[in-house]
Structure 1
Amino acid sequence: MTTKAKVLHLLKNNSTFLSGEKIAQQLNVSRTSIWKAIKELEKEGFRFEHQAKGYRYLPSDVLDSVEISHELSPFDTQVTVLAQSESTMKDAKLASTIDTMKPSLFIADTQEQAHGRFGRSFFAQPGQGIYMSLLLHPQKHFEELPQYTLIAASACVRAIEEMTGKHAMIKWVNDIYLDGRKVCGILSEAVSDMETGEIRSVIIGVGLNFSIPQIQFPDDIQQKATSLFPDGEAMITRNQLICSIWKHFFSYLADPTQAYFDLYKERSFVLGKSVSFSQRGTTYQGIAQSIGPKGELIVDTPEQRFQLLSGEVSLTEIDGLPSAKRG
């Protein structure tokens, strides 16, 4: 660990002021090294209170791999933080070729080519969003896999409520909404082994609008998208929300009672609503009745009952939510 990282860790874990001399003694370096480390950290966006008696850490919304790794250490997760990424999904795919069984989390301060299902673009802003992808190595056949998308969605709404008190809802199958507007999208992809037929890797991507001011959203999605803190003033840090999301995710993943499934259905605003969808070139209208054990949306239409699977169809309308497929 570098001197800079050691200084940050020490100050983060102390609520009182620490003098430069005391920090230098604890780390066995010069006071000049401490001063330089503080200056470098402040350039990166970290905040400290300066007084004659020393330095004190102030809450800073800077993505910190050390903090996140520490919080996720019970799950043995490798964490990589990038200032910028073309796509964290691509970063995870590249890493999937490395022979490791540890979960790997890739987080970017911003993305150049953020996208969701069907290649739809996802509006990204530097320092104001959460763009991350988790790489897992399940080594299972497809039918044995957990419902990763449903688990991730449940983990997101639980974390949002836990950290902010806000009541987020889920649009089947992978979008999180606040006050009728999309705040988060989830994308799951699998990489199979042709020889064994097993799923070698699964990548779960999460794009969340964290503190983008509402006025900054492009005109075409101004009424369809929002952020967790639309006034731009966040009451928590991105690190805290990231850690909460994946803690809930891993807990749900290990829970044999599948508690995530009950939460997913409870927070669904699709169930009981009139929906229309397209399948093989034909548009159908019906009532969303329930969600099956594999995450399928069960819709009753005048013609028949449909079990809609992720990737097979795209919902085109939900009663009371205009243009639900966009945003």
Structure 2
Amino acid sequence: MLCWRKGTKLEKSIRNELISLLINNYDQFISGEEISRRVGCSRAAIWKHIEELRHEGYEIEARPRSGYRLIYRPDRIAPEEILPYLHTDRFGREMRYEPTTPSTQVIAHQWAREGAPEGALVIAEEQKQGRGRLGRTWHSPPQTGIWMSLILRPPIPLTDASHLTLLASVGVREGMYRVTGLPIRIKWPNDLLIDGKKVCGILTELRGEQDRVHYVILGIGINVNADVNQWPDDIKDVATSLAKEKGTKIHRPPLVAAILEELEQIYDRYLREGFSFIREKWEETAGMLSQTITARTTQGSVTGVAMRLNEQGALLIRTATGITPVYSAEVEWDAGGNRS
């Protein structure tokens, strides 16, 4: 059996299966004959793939009559590193990986317009022009975080699109908690905090017309292994990383997989059952309910006690004059002794 030229779907499948075998048999020898049988490629082609992986930083020992074993793997969030951990039906099953890019959101929008399926993912090691809400930039240094954009095609009306940001914050939080066990709280509408400091931001962008959603892009930026001492001064006091809070480096590929799995489960349940259970889960892990907050909107500021979400996903604030729903705002409150 022969492999197709580099870059074809068959060759990418062979490479992914090869890396999966090496990872699942980490620090153990697996024979070239067994790899060839499992992967479905000639032993000469296997050797070629092994050499390519070595050039990319993988340390793979070869021993006569024993085969190959993986000794070291670089910290990468390429598809072949994520797929061995991934157990989803759709999310992440098609990926575009970029070592560096201006923004994963830009690539995802173009791919969605070209007909990318639901669950397609753009993921990068570095963003040069990462975007946040309200046109802000997102600091995305190389190989320290997770910078990815997920394409959704929900059969929902435009009026329900705000549910997706809240859904995403719950799903991403569940995936991060599953891997790290850290006390991550949600700040309405799209931030995840640890002890009042931002560790993750979610940007939801959609394209639609009249009452129809064509597609939605969920942009997810997570500070995973960043050295906070190297951050710009305006970020150090308000942000943190998972590694800093955990006290150890986090392996990124299983974290990506866990997030995609949690997102797919909660998204599918939302499509079946509606928004009510999302609202309950969001309120369970929100860090601001029953707290006095200030919501700064385009119409002015609202100060009062954060109560709960309504069915549209608006934050209900109890003020001196009654209950005020806030649909879009910048929220401030004293979270863990820090303004967030």
Q: Which moved more, 1:46-55 or 1:299-308?
A: 46-55
Query: What does residue range 1-327 of structure 1 map to in structure 2 within 5 Å?
Result: 1-2=10-11, 4-15=15-26, 16-20=28-32, 23=35, 27-30=40-43, 33-48=45-60, 53-57=66-70, 58=72, 60-66=74-80, 68=82, 71-75=86-90, 77-145=93-161, 147-193=163-209, 197-230=211-244, 236-255=250-269, 256=273, 258-309=276-327, 312-318=328-334, 321-324=337-340
Q: Which moved more, 1:140-149 or 1:91-100?
A: 140-149
CA contact (8 A) 1:140 1:200 kept: no
Match of 1:75, SS? coil
Q: Which moved more, 1:243-252 or 1:96-105?
A: 96-105
**Counterpart-to-counterpart distance in 2, 1:230 and 1:47:** 28
Match of 1:110, SS? coil
**Counterpart-to-counterpart distance in 2, 1:50 and 1:234:** 31
Q: 1:50 to 1:261 in 2, by over 3 A?
A: farther
**Counterpart-to-counterpart distance in 1, 2:336 and 2:244:** 22
TM-score under structure 1 normalisation? Answer: 0.86
Would you tell me which structure has more helix in proportion to its own residues? 2
Question: Which residue identity is paired with 2:176?
Answer: I
Q: 1:144 to 1:318 in 2, by over 3 A?
A: same
**Counterpart-to-counterpart distance in 2, 1:67 and 1:246:** 14
Tell me the matched-pair count.
Answer: 319
Residue 5 (structure 2) aligns with: none
Q: 1:50 to 1:126 in 2, by over 3 A?
A: farther
**Counterpart-to-counterpart distance in 2, 1:269 and 1:285:** 17
**Counterpart-to-counterpart distance in 2, 1:180 and 1:317:** 9
Question: Which residue identity is paired with 1:10?
Answer: L
CA deviation after TM superposition for structure 1 residue 225, in Å = 0.7
Q: Which moved more, 1:94-103 or 1:239-248?
A: 94-103
CA deviation after TM superposition for structure 1 residue 36, in Å = 4.3
- 1:56-105 Cα offsets, whole Å, 9 max, x none, are 23565311324545625512642211111111111111112123543311
Match of 1:154, SS? helix
Question: Which residue identity is paired with 2:68?
Answer: Y
CA deviation after TM superposition for structure 1 residue 291, in Å = 1.8
CA deviation after TM superposition for structure 1 residue 236, in Å = 4.3
Q: 1:198 to 1:169 in 2, by over 3 A?
A: same
Q: Which moved more, 1:8-17 or 1:286-295?
A: 8-17
Identity, in percent, stands at 28
Runs of 4+ in structure 1 deviating by more than 6 angstroms, as ranges, are none
CA contact (8 A) 2:19 2:80 kept: no
CA deviation after TM superposition for structure 1 residue 199, in Å = 1.2
**Counterpart-to-counterpart distance in 1, 2:287 and 2:41:** 57
Question: Which residue identity is paired with 1:108?
Answer: A
CA contact (8 A) 1:69 1:78 kept: no
In structure 1, runs of 5+ residues without a counterpart are none
CA contact (8 A) 1:211 1:231 kept: no
